[in-house]
Structures are given as C-alpha cells and as structure tokens.
Structure 1
C-alpha cells in the first residue's frame, strides 16, 4: 500500500509522504516496483513520533485532515483553500486516537453505504485527487 500511495501522491503533486518509521516497510525492490518511479521524485520522510511531526506540519502552515469513514463532514466540506496534509490510518484499525487529536479536522469520503470502507491506497488516491482539483478562491 505504501508504494501505491506514493505513486498517487507523486501523480497529484504532493510535496512529500510522511510515515512513522517503525510501521513503514523498508525501501525494497518490491516497494519501488509498486511505487512505479515515485521513490525517485517524492520525498519520503520517516519519523519516530508521528504526533510531533503533525505539530511541525501545522507550524509550517498546513491544515491537517484525518480520514475516517465515521466522520460527519465529507472531505469536500473539510478541505481548506490553503495547504493541506492528509492523514490516513492503518487499514482496519484506522487512525489512532493520539493522531486524531493532532488533526484540525476529521473527514470521510462519501462512499456508498453498501461498502464499509476502501483500501487505504484507494482512499489516498481519491483524497489526493480531491485536494488537487479543489477550487480555491
């Protein structure tokens, strides 16, 4: 999933991908293959403490939006005009409570009630597309 997320992030001009060091896969041939060249063009920042990194992201002027299928607001409603950091959780477990506490907003993708959730790489691609194509005033 990290490789697929990196590929989407590069495709939609994200400035970087940030992962927690101990929960991310190693850079390998398999990851490089699934990233389809994104490893060469997209910075991958590995951090020890994701909550602290999210604080630094906010200090840099980014609005932090956590994706959660149970959120009341949709991503379109939560997207600001300025820089945004999309925060995704692990498949199944979702966002950890401490990480949600470091988000400015929590939003969901408006998917059919017939489906419980999306694969995290699919959700990332849709959210990246939404952020890349939003109309800013």
Structure 2
C-alpha cells in the first residue's frame, strides 16, 4: 500500500458567487469564479498538477479519476471534491471529454520577451490564431520540439483553458508563454534580441527549405483564413512557403507548424 494517500474526497459544495479576477494576479479565487481557468481531461490535469506553474483553486473528480491521480494529488496536497461524471458534463457541456476530472486553476504566468531562456534557439509567434484546437495542437507540437517559448497576443487569442488545454494534452503547462499587446513591436524587439524572423506564408516568394534561417529563430504563423497581417509581414526577415508534393497544397496551421519545425531543426542542425 502506498505511504502517500490523497486527502479524503469531499462532496461538491455549492458554487460561490462569480468574482472578477485579474489575469496578472493569479492569487486565490473562489471555485466557480469567472477568473478560474478550467483544465479537464486526465493528461491535461496531471500535467498541470505536476508542473505547479499556476495556483490551484479546486479539483473536482470522480472516485475513479481521483484514484488514478492519487500520487500527484498527494504531492500537491490538494483536496479533491467528489463528483459524478454527469456533474462534470453538466458543467462543461456534453461534448467535453473530461475523463472524470476538472481542475480550476489560476492563469498561467507569462514572461517578457527578454526573459525567454534560449535552449533550442526556437520560438513560435502566433499572429491572431484564435481557434483553441489549433493553438492547443501547436502547443503540443512546441513541447515535442522543445520550443523555448510561444509568443501570442493579449487580444484575438484563446484563453489557455478549457478546449485549448484539452487539445494541448498537458503542453499548455510545459511551454513558456509570452503575451504581447502589439505584435509588430514584439517582432522588432525579437530582432533586437538577435532573433531571425521567418514568416510562414502560403504566398511566400521562397520555399521554406531555401529560405535563409539562423539561430535563434522566430517562426511566425498566421491564422488560416487571414494569414499574416501586413505589419507582421513587414517585420519578418523572410517570408517562406511550404510546398506540398501531393494534390492537397495547403495544411491546417498546426500541421504546417509541425512541418516547419521539423525543417527548421534539420536546417539549424546542419548549419551547426
């Protein structure tokens, strides 16, 4: 029998009145408050609890899910509220694949551009990509490729919660996030920090394989419907396209990100 047992689950209390919370002040908040980020699904919740990068406000779990997470629940000393799967489905919606567990947490801490620790020499910059499934998949790819940070905007970007966190399958708590107000200015600052900025553009003049790259590299991605905005394009050092050999010539932005990161790592490794 394990020496570390999770706190005994307790029944779900009535939700507290909703309260406004600042994204930049991730201190305690009442369960059910508007400021809480909702993380659900086994892998996403486990990753959040293991990473300990944000405050935990409440954990709601079925008996089976609490047992599966017993080790990490004990490690973070969090008392789970016992619920049924139907309780969670009513709260999250019938389409949410919650796997019997929901974590209410504060927002992820964010960095300034100057605080990025360059290990792989790769960062991703998202230009108003708003679909949470796409951003979640991009985060998962970023974690797999050991990307140093993901740069996104404070507006026209999905919250690091709910559907996004589920799609990221834990990566939302692994990849450092930089939020900026003005993306064009952020790209200028990245240049000042030594980054070479390559924008992925289906109409780019150069195939990605032939585009100039150097480390550290900022790979800039735009939304599928609009692509890169004019000011974003103007602040890239190069614009490159992905040439597909098959009948389908364009990719979902998250798939294009994975292809571009593969090519970028190969080219940077070859350059030494």
Query: TM-score w.r.t. structure 2 length?
Result: 0.48
The equivalences for 1:99-118 within 5 A come to 99-112=232-245, 114-118=247-251
Q: Paired residue for 1:43?
A: 176
Deviation at 1:93, TM superposition (A): 0.9
Q: Distance in 2 between matches of 1:45 and 1:82?
A: 19
Q: Distance in 2 between matches of 1:117 and 1:21?
A: 28
CA deviations over 1:58-102 (Å, ceiling 9, x no partner):
111110000111112111211423211011111111111110001
Stretches of 4+ moved more than 2 A in 1? 112-116
User: SS where residue 88 of structure 1 aligns?
Assistant: strand
> Quick one: which of 199, 202, 208 aligns to 1:75?
208
Q: CA RMSD in A?
A: 1.4
Which stretch of the first structure deviates more once superposed, 69-78 or 49-58? 69-78
> Quick one: which of 134, 138, 148 aligns to 1:15?
148
Larger relative contact order (CA 8 Å, sep ≥ 6) = 1
Q: Distance in 1 between matches of 2:182 and 2:226?
A: 18
Q: Paired residue for 1:130?
A: 263
Deviation at 1:107, TM superposition (A): 0.2
Deviation at 1:29, TM superposition (A): 2.6
5+ residue gaps, structure 2, are 1-133
Q: Paired residue for 2:188?
A: 55
Quick check: which has more Rg, 1 or 2? 2
Aligned length: 137
Whether the 8 Å CA contact 2:198–2:217 is kept in 1: the answer is yes
5+ residue gaps, structure 1, are none
1:4 correspondence with 2:137: yes
Q: Distance in 1 between matches of 2:139 and 2:155?
A: 18
1:97 correspondence with 2:227: no
Deviation at 1:116, TM superposition (A): 4.1
